[in-house]
Structures are given as structure tokens and as C-alpha cells.
């Protein structure tokens, strides 16, 4: 497909798309995480475009101002995957899928539940959901993930994010820079997307087993030793949940690799796509 995609629709929602790079290049769709928007992939996309790839990014359900349905059930994994399938189908075929943080969780689930729309997978920070869940009782992961329980609660997450001193300290401990934290306040809190973004966590109890199957697509998983949210045990357990070609890459750095190490991620994505 050579026509630019400016938007796509799914579930009665409309998503604006940033479609850049050579129109005849291999299509790479990159999914952002929490609490960020598609802009977090900016530096990686520039590098991919320079290498001849066509990159598509969009603010996902709850983040896009034209795609903020009410109620937590609208944010269950099946609906997040359907959004990714819709943009992949809009390109005319399967895509190379990349995700970070929650975007990685959606990318894993898309590769598991809709393998027909995924050519290759590159997941950053968050491991396969079965590895993540399996690591909980046998490692420090349950302690690292305390905030997931907090985010299930009504009102509390919204209150926390509206206390600048509190949330700035929390995000700073994860490795976010002051500039990144300021962007969170602008793009997530002030934009009105906070509650719908947190609804991704509140919808977790409605996840289907369909989305924790083994992944057959050629896969690269990237984990960083300085990630305060994701531990080594879940990262090493990831391999048993991929039946296709698999590469596990360990790097130094924080959780926020797309902005922190764009050169590395470019190289790993290109290696996966070319392979």
C-alpha cells in the first residue's frame, strides 16, 4: 500500500495516525506505553525512516481525544488488540510490530491473538504476559508491581497524578528525566486522558486467555538492568512463550528505553525485520 494513512476507525472510535518514511518501505507500527503518547517513539522513528522504513504511530485508545470510550471494559485487551489489527489491516497486510511498556503488552497480545496481522515483533521492557504473571510468586516482581494494585482503585490514581511533588518523585525514581516528567503533566494529566489511560489497568481483570498464548512470530525482547518496574526473572522466562525465532537483548538503562537508547532500539528493530 502506498497511500498515506492519516487516520483509521475501530469500534466507532477514530485514531489519528502519524505516517512517515518512504511510502514503499516495510511498515513498522510502534505502540506507546503509560504514561506517555506516541511521541515517545519520535527519535526511534527518525532513525527507522532514515533506514528506509515506513513508521506508523498513533495515540492509543484512551489517549487519543477522539477515542476515549467510557467505562473500564472498553479498555480490556481484546479491544486494544482490535485497534492494532485495524491499523494493520488499513496498511493492506501484516506489519512489523513494536511496543514499549503497555504498548509491549498489547504487541505481545496481538501476536498471540491475531498472528495474521504481525510479521515480526519487537517488545521493549514488558515481557510476554504469561512470563510476567509467572514471575510474580517466585521473584521480586510482585513488589515491583505494587502500583498495578493501586491503579485498580477508583479515584486514587487520578489524585496521585494531580499531586506534582508526589508523582514527580515517583516518576523520577524510575529514571524519567525532568523533561519527560513535564511532558507527562502536559500530555496525560492536563490533556484529560489520565482516567481513560488508567482504565487500561482497571480492565486487567477482564483479560482473555486467548492473549497469553505462545507467540509464533519472529520476536526480539529487550530488557534493561535498571528497570525498576520489571525484574530479571520475568525477562528470562519470556523465551518459553515464543515458538518462533527469538532474541533476548539485555541492556543497561532505565525503563524508558525509546527515548534513552533510540540507536540501540533502531538497530534491534532493523535486525529483527531484516531477519
Q: Measured between alpha carbons, how far is residue 44 from residues 41, 135, 251 in Å?
A: 5, 30, 16
Give the pLDDT confidence score for residue 12 in this predicted structure. 97
Give the mean pLDDT of 200-205.
Answer: 96
Residue 275's pLDDT is: 87
**Interval 211-228 mean pLDDT:** 97
d(CA 115, CA 220): 16
Contact between 73 and 231 under an 8 Å Cβ cutoff? The reply is no
How many other C-beta atoms are found inside a 10 Å radius of the C-beta of residue 237?
19
**pLDDT tens-digit map of 104-152:** 999 999 999 999 999 999 999 999 999 999 999 999 999 999 999 999 9
Q: What is the mean pLDDT of residues 235-252?
A: 98
**Given pLDDT bands bounded at 50, 70 and 90, which one contains residue 191?**
very high
Question: Is 2 a residue whose pLDDT tops 90?
Answer: no
pTM greater than the 0.95 cutoff:
yes
Confidence of residue 1 (pLDDT cuts 50, 70, 90): low
What is the reported pLDDT for 146?
94
How many CB atoms are located within 10 Å of the residue 190 CB? 10
Of 88, 130, 128, 89, the closest CA to residue 105 belongs to 128
Percent of the chain scoring above 90 in pLDDT: 98
What distance in Å separates the CA atoms of residue 31 and residue 255, rounded to the nearest whole number?
15
Q: Is the dihedral of CA 171, 178, 62, 100 positive or negative?
A: negative
- From CA 188, how far away is CA 260, in angstroms rounded? 20
**Where residue 36 falls among pLDDT bands split at 50, 70, 90?**
very high
The answer to whether 111 and 97 have CB atoms below 8 angstroms apart is yes
The mean pLDDT value for 228-243 works out to: 97
The whole-number average pLDDT for the span 206-215 is: 94
Region 238-267: mean pLDDT is 98
The mean predicted confidence, pLDDT, of the chain is 97
Distance CA 266, CA 168 (A): 29
The separation between CA 231 and the C-alpha centre of its own chain, rounded to angstroms, equals 17
For residue 55, the cross-strand partners are 20, 28
Class of domain 7-274: alpha beta
Cell of 80: 486494544
pLDDT value, residue 230: 97
Report the C-alpha gap between 171 and 174 in whole angstroms. Answer: 5
Mean pLDDT over 219-246 rounds to: 98
Which residue would you say has higher pLDDT here, 66 or 1?
66
The yes-or-no verdict on residue 208 having pLDDT over 80 is yes
Calpha distance 158→190 (Å, rounded):
11
Amino acid at each position: 500500500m502506498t497511500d498515506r494513512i492519516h487516520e483509521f476507525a475501530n469500534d466507532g472510535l477514530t485514531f489519528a495516525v502519524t505516517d512517515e518514511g518512504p511510502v514503499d518501505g516495510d511498515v513498522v507500527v510502534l505502540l506507546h506505553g503509560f504514561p506517555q503518547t506516541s511521541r515517545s517513539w519520535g527519535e526511534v522513528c527518525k532513525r527507522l525512516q532514515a533506514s528506509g522504513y515506513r513508521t506508523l504511530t498513533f495515540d492509543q485508545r484512551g489517549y487519543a481525544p477522539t477515542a476515549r470510550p467510557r467505562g473500564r471494559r472498553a479498555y480490556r485487551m481484546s479491544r486494544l488488540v482490535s485497534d492494532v489489527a485495524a491499523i494493520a489491516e488499513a496498511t493492506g497486510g501484516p506489519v512489523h510490530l513494536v511496543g514499549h511498556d503497555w504498548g509491549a503488552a498489547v504487541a505481545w497480545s496481538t501476536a498471540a491473538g491475531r498472528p495474521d496481522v504481525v510479521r515480526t515483533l519487537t517488545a521493549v521492557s514488558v515481557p510476554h504476559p504469561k512470563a510476567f504473571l509467572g514471575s510474580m510468586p517466585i521473584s521480586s516482581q510482585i513488589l515491583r508491581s505494587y502500583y498495578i494494585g493501586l491503579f485498580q482503585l477508583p479515584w486514587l490514581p487520578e489524585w496521585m497524578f494531580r499531586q506534582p511533588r508526589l508523582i514527580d518523585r515517583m516518576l523520577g525514581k524510575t529514571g524519567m528525566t525532568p523533561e519527560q516528567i513535564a511532558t507527562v503533566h502536559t500530555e496525560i494529566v492536563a490533556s484529560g486522558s489520565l482516567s481513560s489511560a488508567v482504565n487500561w489497568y482497571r480492565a486487567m481483570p477482564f483479560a482473555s486467555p486467548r492473549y497469553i498464548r505462545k507467540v509464533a512470530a519472529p520476536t526480539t525482547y529487550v530488557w534493561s538492568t535498571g528497570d525498576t518496574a520489571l525484574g530479571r526473572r520475568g525477562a528470562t522466562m519470556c523465551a518459553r512463550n515464543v515458538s518462533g525465532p527469538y532474541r533476548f537483548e539485555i541492556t543497561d538503562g532505565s525503563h524508558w528505553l525509546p527515548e534513552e537508547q533510540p540507536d540501540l532500539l533502531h538497530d534491534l528493530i532493523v535486525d529483527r525485520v531484516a531477519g
